[in-house]
C-alpha cells in the first residue's frame, strides 16, 4: 500500500473529543481511545462539580433532570462521521451515555456510563 494510504488510515484512527458546555465548544484529539475516555471522564466530572442547574419555565417547566448541562462526545470523525458516542451531563448531575451522532441511542450505563461509551466505540 502506498505511504499516503497508510497516513490516511492512521489519521482516520484518531479520536476527537468534543465538549459542548454552555456556549463554549472545545475539541481535543487523541491517538488512543483510552486517553479520550480518561479526558471525557475528567471533564464530565468537572461539569458535575459545578452543581445542579436551575429549573426553567418556558411553555412548560424544565427541571434540572431534563436539562443538558454539557454534552461530551468522542468520534472517529471522517467524511461520513465515523463512530460517535458520549455522555450528556444532565442538570441534576446524572450521566446519560449514548451512541450515534445523528440518531442517538441511549446506552445502558447503570454500572459505569464511561465503560458503556468505551464499549460502543470499540
pLDDT band for 80, please (50, 70, 90 cuts): low
Residues 14-71 pLDDT 10s: 899 999 999 999 999 999 999 999 999 999 999 999 999 999 998 999 999 999 999 9
The reported pTM is: 0.84
CB count, 10 Å around CB of 113? 23
**Residue 8: per-residue pLDDT:** 42
Domains held by the chain: number: 1
Query: What's residue 11's pLDDT?
Result: 47
Q: Which domain holds residue 87?
A: 3-121
pLDDT in the model for residue 86: 97
Amino acid at each position: 500500500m502506498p505511504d499516503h494510504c497508510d497516513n490516511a488510515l492512521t489519521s482516520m484512527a484518531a479520536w476527537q473529543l468534543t465538549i459542548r458546555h454552555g456556549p463554549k465548544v472545545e475539541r481535543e484529539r487523541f491517538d488512543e481511545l483510552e486517553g479520550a475516555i480518561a479526558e471525557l471522564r475528567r471533564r464530565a466530572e468537572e461539569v458535575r462539580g459545578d452543581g445542579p442547574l436551575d429549573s426553567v419555565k418556558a411553555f412548560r417547566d424544565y427541571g434540572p433532570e431534563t436539562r443538558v448541562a454539557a454534552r461530551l462526545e468522542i468520534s472517529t470523525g471522517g467524511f461520513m462521521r465515523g463512530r460517535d458516542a458520549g455522555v450528556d451531563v444532565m442538570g441534576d448531575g446524572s450521566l446519560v451515555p449514548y451512541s450515534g451522532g445523528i440518531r442517538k441511542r441511549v446506552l445502558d450505563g447503570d454500572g459505569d456510563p464511561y465503560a458503556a461509551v468505551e464499549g460502543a466505540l470499540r
